[in-house]
Amino acid sequence: MKKKTPKTKEPGKPLSDSDGKVISEGCVHVFGLGVRAITQITLESNYLLQNMQKVFHCEDDSRVTEYLADIGCPEVNLGYLYQEGRKRERVYQEICDLIIETAKTGVKCAYLAPGNPAFLNSIAFKLQEATARNRIPFFMYPGVSSIDSLLTDLRDSVEVTGFQCFEATQFTRLKPAVDKRVPLFLFQPGAVDAFDVGSGTRVNLRGVKLLQDTLIKLYGRKATWIVVKSAMSIEENPVISTGDMDGLLERADELKLGTLVIPGVLGQATDVNS
């Protein structure tokens, strides 16, 4: 039997065969946005995004909308699902389900995630599992992660000092063995045990107290912490503040959207390149 040649695809339309029957090409591509709105998206993602039929995201930032319009991508903003007080897990599941249901109809779906989606992004991992269950092709592409921006802002040689990193809720629960000489990076320090939407923009004081107690047991009351907030746009500068463990709870507000670093020997490392 003669093989039917697929028609050339019009942008935004599903691929169809010569009888006009849609060939299912549903797939899910997850792209990293970087931490500075869209300025840290890679050229690879910029190129591939233009081939997507629906681009889902939850960003409350008009620059994302403008960018998607500029490159001709049909945008679906799911930010409305993040209503104050809703369980985060439930919101993540709804976002994942919506994308999977769309991909099942043969649509090429993209999901834009902050930073690098492979680092601390529950929705990206839910999508990975759901696509595997539903036999939908799945791809993931990095954007600049907060790990990259932190290393850039601190400008220290972690290749010499070593580097430990944990999500802060996991850290307070698992209390993993740490080497106190090696810098420790704690992500989401303002959201320890915060399971509702809204806690990401507010600091959960009960959680910060738990974190403070865990750190005091390990490092003592006078040990130094650093909070790094990398610039979120090209017009801003990074904010780096410091204090001691005893004062961490009082200054809990500074943990909002930043990463907590316990420096260890950071700053004292020998520069192997000099």
Ligand X SMILES: C[S@@+](CC[C@H](N)C(=O)[O-])C[C@H]1O[C@@H](n2cnc3c(N)ncnc32)[C@H](O)[C@@H]1O
Among the listed residues 188, 199, 204, 212, the single contact to ligand X using CB under 6 A: 188
103 or 151: CB nearest ligand X: 151
Binding status of residue 121 toward ligand X by CB under 6 A: yes
Q: With contacts defined by CB under 6 A, how many residues of the chain interact with ligand X?
A: 20
18-77 residues near ligand X, rule: CB under 6 A: 35
Binding status of residue 169 toward ligand X by CB under 6 A: no
Nearest distance, CB of residue 228 and ligand X, angstroms: 5
Binding status of residue 266 toward ligand X by CB under 6 A: no
Nearest distance, CB of residue 22 and ligand X, angstroms: 34
Q: Which one of the spans 93-101, 125-133, 206-214, 222-230 is the region binding ligand X (CB under 6 A)?
A: 222-230
Nearest distance, CB of residue 150 and ligand X, angstroms: 6
Residue 120 Cα distances to 96, 147, 186, 206, 250, angstroms: 15, 11, 12, 22, 27
119 or 141: CB nearest ligand X: 119
Nearest distance, CB of residue 37 and ligand X, angstroms: 11
Residue 48 identity: L
Binding status of residue 207 toward ligand X by CB under 6 A: no
128-147 residues near ligand X, rule: CB under 6 A: 145-146
9 or 256: CB nearest ligand X: 256
Q: Where on the chain is the footprint of ligand X (CB under 6 A)?
A: 35, 114-116, 119-121, 145-146, 149-150, 187-188, 228-230, 232, 257-259
